Amino acid sequence: MSAETPVCQLLERQGVDYRGWLWVAPPRDAWLEAGQGSLLSADEAVLAAWRTRGRPAHSPFEDVEPIPPGAVLFWPKSHALGEWWLLWLCAHLPPGIPLQLVGENQGGIRRVLKTLAALGLGCRKRDSARRCALYATRLDRVGIDPDDAWTTFEAELGDEKLRLISHPGVFGHGKLDDGTWLLLQQLRVLVEGRSALGDVVDMGCGDGILAAWLAGHGARGTAVDVNHFAVEATRRTLAANGLESEVVASDVYSALGGRRFDAIVSNPPFHQERAIDYGPAGRLILEAPEHLRPGGQLLLVANAFLPYPDLLERAFGTFEILADDRRFRVYRAVKVRSTG
């Protein structure tokens, strides 16, 4: 089986015995999934794909066993996240283990030279092709705790405040997203005077701002994200505000089974690294009626240019726009109650 992605095609041509190596934050690629070694990833969809094949797969919030003979780090779009992965590997794997770093030129892989030099790690370029580059070094202790990457900030929501915990690679890292704020304003109007919000799922919870706000207003909440950093950030945000909600790592609805809710709220992503990807948002909308009780509603915010009206019409038959500031729109669609 041949590699599918440019970074894996570059690795495939290397004269390296990668058996037993640790693949860190890779993309979906059948060549990797059918090969040797184990996975370290914060992406639940990638973790699930490897586990389905019976391959060893771990999140960075689990121990990695056994110690691999080497590791390959796939450099992400977020340079800060790439630095975190590098610090995690230096802190958790023994010094001297070979490390290769691979990434696309447009994704910033060339910046790893300065990053490695700043950490006192030697580096040499192994190869380049397909607009990608591959570098090699060896791990060592660098005296920087990867947990230092977690940040705390306060979000002012009108007359309310929430303490948010975030991490590189989490949507809205370190700031209140404008679209999320527009959605929160509409949620405040919708819940005014209501004694109970019922069962609400925050799909794509990010740093947990929606989940925490909903929990603070009496919802029986479930927060979902495919990103394990977001899942951990949401857990920390809830704890920091003295709130409780279920938090689940899931590729959209995959881990929810047949559960149904009174409302689904979301600020869904539409990027996968640098590429536009409507797949997760499309699944969120089209499968929403299966996960809503009769009369339940989907509330989502999205960039105004995104083609979600067609998806909403296909899923629900009709919808309304609650807010439109020309940059973002808040949509509301309701599952029709049975008349039988």
Tokens at residue 146, please? 């990867």
Q: Is 193 left (phi over 0), alpha (psi -120 to 50) or beta?
A: left
Q: What is the DSSP letter of 5?
A: S
What is the C-alpha to C-alpha distance for residues 212 and 192, in angstroms, rounded to an integer? 17
How high is the mean pLDDT of the chain?
92
What is the C-alpha to C-alpha distance for residues 320 and 128, in angstroms, rounded to an integer? 50
State the pLDDT confidence band at 1, using cuts at 50, 70 and 90: confident
The pLDDT tens digits of the residues spanning 185-235 come to 999 988 876 656 799 999 999 999 999 999 999 999 999 999 999 999 999
The predicted pLDDT at position 339 comes to 52
- Mean pLDDT, rounded, for 111-123: 95
The predicted pLDDT at position 271 comes to 45
What three-state secondary structure class fits 213?
helix
* Distances in whole angstroms, Cα of residue 116 to Cα of each of 121, 131, 238: 5, 21, 35
Scanning 4-93, the segments in alpha helix (DSSP H) are: 6-12, 30-33, 44-52, 79-92
Indicate whether 89 pLDDT > 50.
yes
Lowest-confidence segment of 50-64, 156-170, 273-287 by average pLDDT = 273-287
The predicted pLDDT at position 151 comes to 95
Contact, 291 vs 264, CB < 8 A?
A: yes
- Mean pLDDT, rounded, for 98-119: 95
State the pLDDT confidence band at 313, using cuts at 50, 70 and 90: very high
What is the C-alpha to C-alpha distance for residues 141 and 291, in angstroms, rounded to an integer? 47
Single out the residue of 214, 203, 208, 205 nearest to residue 298, CA to CA: 203
The predicted pLDDT at position 69 comes to 96
User: Which CATH number applies to 150-334?
Assistant: 3.40.50.150
* Surface-to-core class of residue 81, CB atoms within 10 Å of its CB (0-12 exposed, 13-18 middle, 19+ buried): buried
* Distances in whole angstroms, Cα of residue 135 to Cα of each of 28, 70, 126: 21, 13, 5
Indicate yes or no: pTM above 0.85: yes
* CATH T-level assignment (fold) for domain 6-144: Rossmann fold (3.40.50)
> Which residue intervals of the chain bear CATH 3.40.50.150?
6-144, 150-334
The predicted pLDDT at position 274 comes to 47
Contact, 203 vs 268, CB < 8 A?
A: yes
The pLDDT tens digits of the residues spanning 59-75 come to 999 877 789 999 999 99
Indicate whether 116 pLDDT > 60.
yes
Percentage of the chain lying above the pLDDT 70 cut:
95
* DSSP element (H, E) containing 126: strand 124-129
The predicted pLDDT at position 195 comes to 54
